[in-house]
Amino acid sequence: MKIQIFDLEFDTEFYYIQRDSIVDKIKFNNRTFYSKFEKIETPPTPMLIKQHLNREFTIALPLINDNHINYIVLEYEKEENNHFYYLLKHLLKSLYITNFYTYESRDNLIQIFIPIKDISIKETYKEIEKIKQILELKSSKRCKILPDENLPKNYNKITLPIKKM
């Protein structure tokens, strides 16, 4: 089912909802991950999306579906002067990435969604690695990039944004 939020479109048959306590324990590559997000096996409804936007719930959607990735997402803490955003914008342009969408999440994070069309997961991870390398060279600021092949599939999800920037 297609889910539309702002300029973003997701194709998913399920979603995750954040709970107050840990609901999932995942063992992956000799590590244990704990999650407060419960997987709900139905597509999110427009009403549920509206409740997320009104901050009644926190909803997340998977970034990997049926071995296909729709978006690479860069996520970092919001700052007053937006200096890091302009650096990221410049770095993406240097990688010939000009199509991206910027939002604010519920947790005061900036999320940059880069649409991925018709490339394999392997190629997507190569693109992510290029972005990571350039970021490490140009900035000391912590920026999370998803999906991450070093995380379990269930951890490659993104909380939906609440505000377009």
Among residues 92, 82, 101, the alpha carbon closest in space to that of 6 is found at 101
Angle at 13 between CA 70 and CA 51, to 5 degrees: 90
Task: Tell me the average pLDDT across 14-22.
Answer: 95
Task: Identify the pLDDT of residue 39.
Answer: 94
Q: Classify domain 2-164 at the CATH class level.
A: alpha beta
For 144, the token pair is: 């999370």
Distance CA 155, CA 158 (A): 9
pLDDT in tens, 98-141: 999 999 998 889 999 999 987 888 899 999 999 998 888 877 67
Task: Identify the pLDDT of residue 1.
Answer: 83
- Please, what is the average pLDDT of the chain? 90
Residues paired with residue 2 on neighbouring β-strands, in sequence order:
11
Q: How confident is the model at residue 75 (pLDDT cuts 50, 70, 90)?
A: very high
**What is the dihedral angle through the alpha carbons of 157, 152, 98, 132, rounded to the nearest 10 degrees?**
130
Structural domain boundaries in the chain: 2-164
In b/e form, how buried is each residue of 118-144, taking b as 16+ CB within 10 angstroms? eeeeeebbebbeebeeebeeeeeeebe
Statement: residue 81 has pLDDT above 80: no
Task: Tell me the average pLDDT across 55-84.
Answer: 89
Task: Identify the pLDDT of residue 19.
Answer: 95
Task: Identify the pLDDT of residue 78.
Answer: 86
Statement: residue 66 has pLDDT above 90: no
Could you check whether the bond before residue 62 is cis, i.e. omega within 30 degrees of 0?
no
pTM: 0.91
For 116, the token pair is: 């991925």
How much is the CA Rg of the chain, to the nearest whole Å? 16
Task: Identify the pLDDT of residue 79.
Answer: 82
Task: Identify the pLDDT of residue 157.
Answer: 93
DSSP state, 155?
G
